[in-house]
Amino acid sequence: NAGVTQTPKFQVLKTGQSMTLQCAQDMNHEYMSWYRQDPGMGLRLIHYSVGAGITDQGEVPNGYNVSRSTTEDFPLRLLSAAPSQTSVYFCASSYSFADSSYNEQFFGPGTRLTVL
Amino acid sequence: SQQGEEDPQALSIQEGENATMNCSYKTSINNLQWYRQNSGRGLVHLILIRSNEREKHSGRLRVTLDTSKKSSSLLITASRAADTASYFCATDRGSTLGRLYFGRGTQLTVWP
């Protein structure tokens, strides 16, 4: 299994540009989520999904969109990039959200985004 | 807003010593988890402790949970240079939706 994969690893954007960060998992996990990590901060939840066709907002959703058309993929779209979105973005998945004993999350390697 | 608050923010020890990191949180929880992040990498799950458990072991790791004090500790025994990383606690705030809320982490440096 490849686990959780993310592309690209690095990206530089200009203010106002849009782009999509890709995330895929091959573990048949129900739950997927996107976090951003800023220096000196922990991870903050942007959006999450509890299954195909179902998404919801996390703590910091503004400026981002998500969709979940398949179990495997969970892309994150930046609509109009701003310097405040410069961050490292992590995608994660977990087997089941219903049973709290099994909701350990598996993380991708991250995408380092710089917005100029 | 941050849920877990790790203490200390940074910890520097010699190989062979034990490392203890603490986490405090503010709400009820179903479980608390600890993750490790090596520099420039994603987070890796270490251990999960449920709210009805008080202590859990995994290899050189020992986690305790005190729900009355809303706190947890992670002990790494006989530390190695390879344990150098950031360590984060995360809780679910009592939700069953799978959402996790992370603290800012403890940066552990183990000197050979």
B96–A50 CB contact, under 8 Å: no
**How close, in Å, is residue B111 to chain A by CA atoms?**
22
Report the pLDDT value the prediction gives residue A98, as an integer from 0 to 100.
60
CA end-to-end span of chain B: 36
Q: Give the single-character DSSP code of A116.
A: -
User: Rounded mean pLDDT of A23-36?
Assistant: 95
Contact A96, A113 (CB under 8 A): no
Report the pLDDT value the prediction gives residue B60, as an integer from 0 to 100.
97
Q: Which of A7, A100, A102, A106 to mutate to test the interface with B (most CBs of B within 10 A)?
A: A100
Please state, rounded to an integer, the average pLDDT across all residues of chain A.
92
pLDDT classification of A103: cutoffs 50, 70, 90: confident
Report the pLDDT value the prediction gives residue B93, as an integer from 0 to 100.
84
Query: Which residues in chain B show pLDDT less than 70?
Result: 1-4, 96
Return the closest-CA partner of residue A104 out of B83, B30, B68, B38: B30
pLDDT digits (tens, 9 = 90+) for A46-100: 999 989 999 999 999 999 999 999 999 999 999 999 999 999 999 999 986 566 5
All residues at 6 or more sequence positions from B68 whose CB lies less than 8 Å from its CB, including other chains: none
Residues of chain A with pLDDT > 90: what percent?
81
Report the pLDDT value the prediction gives residue A91, as an integer from 0 to 100.
97
**Nearest residue, CB atoms, A58 vs list B30, B40, B99:** B99
A105–B48 CB contact, under 8 Å: no
**Nearest residue, CB atoms, B99 vs list A4, A45, A106:** A45
- Report CA-CA distances (Å) from A50 to A47, A87, A97, A112, B62: 10, 24, 7, 25, 31
